[in-house]
């Protein structure tokens, strides 16, 4: 073994050795039965949402307490000869197959998540996207037309739009932000509002606009073509899609190769033979 190869192998041993030892490390015992770091890892994955609701400093104790109950209960069940029952044997076989499938799909799905595959999917998706126009606007929402007209008069006299919005707008979300709605496309707003907003020019203020929410006065800050999503920002979603699609394709492929027989229902009647294509019409004689 050359020196470079030896150093590489040694480096792996130095890194992997403590990791394996850590996984096997006994952190508690119950009636002499060991609870290891690996047990904690697996239980944490299994408990999922239950743990997510707990403070960080309580999670480990919760998992260990759960494992104590699990080990005690499993030993009591074994002592009671639960493992000898046909129902337990069938249930164990079912869950063994389920875990095998989950592990297989997880492993194979991750193989599909590569940098090249993610970039290719991103490029194909963004290339097919239709450019959309976005508006950046502020609005002031009031209850009736008289209040809306009063707001318009204040603005015409030179009052700052953001200040008036903070004073009188009934919109609980944007009111405190000076009426700022950020960037939006037409489909994100009710039709009356969207139509009025996108007709404005940069810096213009609308006349009162009625919608199901009340009366709006809209100021257009700017317009632009909606920018393409940032690759880094959407890569987690792309990776998730690639993994799930690979898993779905794998299951479909397994079914297509398999001989599946339903013995609990009559066989489906044979499909009728497809009709023969019509013969081409003979050319007409002159």
Taking the CA atoms of 35, 40, 46 and 52 in sequence, report the sign of the dihedral they define. positive
Q: Which region among 11-25, 52-66, 136-150 has the lowest average model confidence (pLDDT)?
A: 11-25
84-101 burial string, b = 16+ CB within 10 Å, else e? eeeeeeeeeeeeeeeeee
Q: Smallest Cα–Cα separation from 161: which of 206, 201, 196, 212?
A: 206
Token code pair at residue 218: 């809209």
**Quick one: which H or E segment has residue 164?**
helix 161-168
pTM of the model: 0.62
Cα separation, 64 vs 35, in Å, equals: 8
Q: Residue 115's pLDDT is what?
A: 95
Q: Residue 266's pLDDT is what?
A: 76
Token code pair at residue 176: 């405190």
Q: What is the CA radius of gyration of the chain?
A: 33
* Backbone torsion region of residue 158, taken as left when φ is above 0, otherwise alpha when ψ lies between -120 and 50, otherwise beta: left
SS3 111: helix
242 and 117 in contact (C-beta within 8 Å)?
A: yes
Polymer length in residues for the chain: 286
pLDDT at 265 over 90: no
pLDDT at 63 over 80: yes
Q: Which residues contact 221 (CB under 8 A, 6 or more apart)?
A: 136, 137, 138, 202, 203
Confidence of residue 143 (pLDDT cuts 50, 70, 90): very high
pLDDT at 2 over 50: no
Determine how many CB atoms are found less than 10 A away from the CB of residue 200: 17
Q: Smallest Cα–Cα separation from 193: which of 144, 137, 148?
A: 137
Strands 26-30 and 214-225 come out as unpaired
């Amino acid at each position: 073994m050359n020196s470079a190869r030896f150093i590489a192998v040694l480096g792996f041993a130095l890194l992997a050795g403590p990791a394996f030892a850590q996984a096997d490390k006994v952190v508690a015992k119950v009636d002499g039965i060991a609870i290891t770091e690996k047990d904690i890892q697996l239980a944490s994955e299994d408990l999922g949402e239950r743990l997510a609701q707990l403070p960080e400093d309580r999670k480990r104790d919760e998992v260990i307490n759960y494992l104590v109950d699990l080990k005690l209960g499993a030993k009591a069940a074994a002592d009671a000869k639960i493992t000898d029952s046909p129902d337990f044997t069938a249930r164990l076989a079912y869950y063994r197959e389920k875990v095998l499938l989950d592990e297989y799909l997880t492993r194979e799905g991750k193989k599909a998540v590569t940098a090249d595959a993610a970039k290719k999917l991103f490029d194909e998706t963004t290339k097919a996207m239709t450019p959309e126009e976005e508006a950046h606007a502020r609005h002031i929402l009031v209850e009736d037309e008289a209040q809306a007209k009063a707001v318009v008069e204040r603005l015409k006299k030179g009052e700052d739009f953001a200040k008036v919005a903070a004073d009188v707008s009934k919109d609980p979300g944007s009111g405190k932000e000076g009426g700022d709605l950020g960037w939006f496309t037409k489909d994100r707003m009710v039709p009356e509002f969207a139509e009025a907003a996108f007709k404005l020019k940069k810096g213009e203020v609308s006349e009162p606009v009625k919608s199901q929410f009340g009366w709006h006065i809209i100021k257009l800050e700017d317009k632009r073509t909606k920018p393409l999503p940032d690759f880094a920002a959407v890569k987690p979603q792309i990776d998730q899609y690639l993994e799930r699609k690979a898993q779905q394709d794998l299951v479909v492929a397994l079914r297509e190769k398999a001989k599946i027989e339903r013995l609990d229902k009559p066989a489906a009647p044979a499909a009728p033979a497809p009709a023969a294509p019509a013969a081409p019409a003979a050319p007409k004689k002159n």
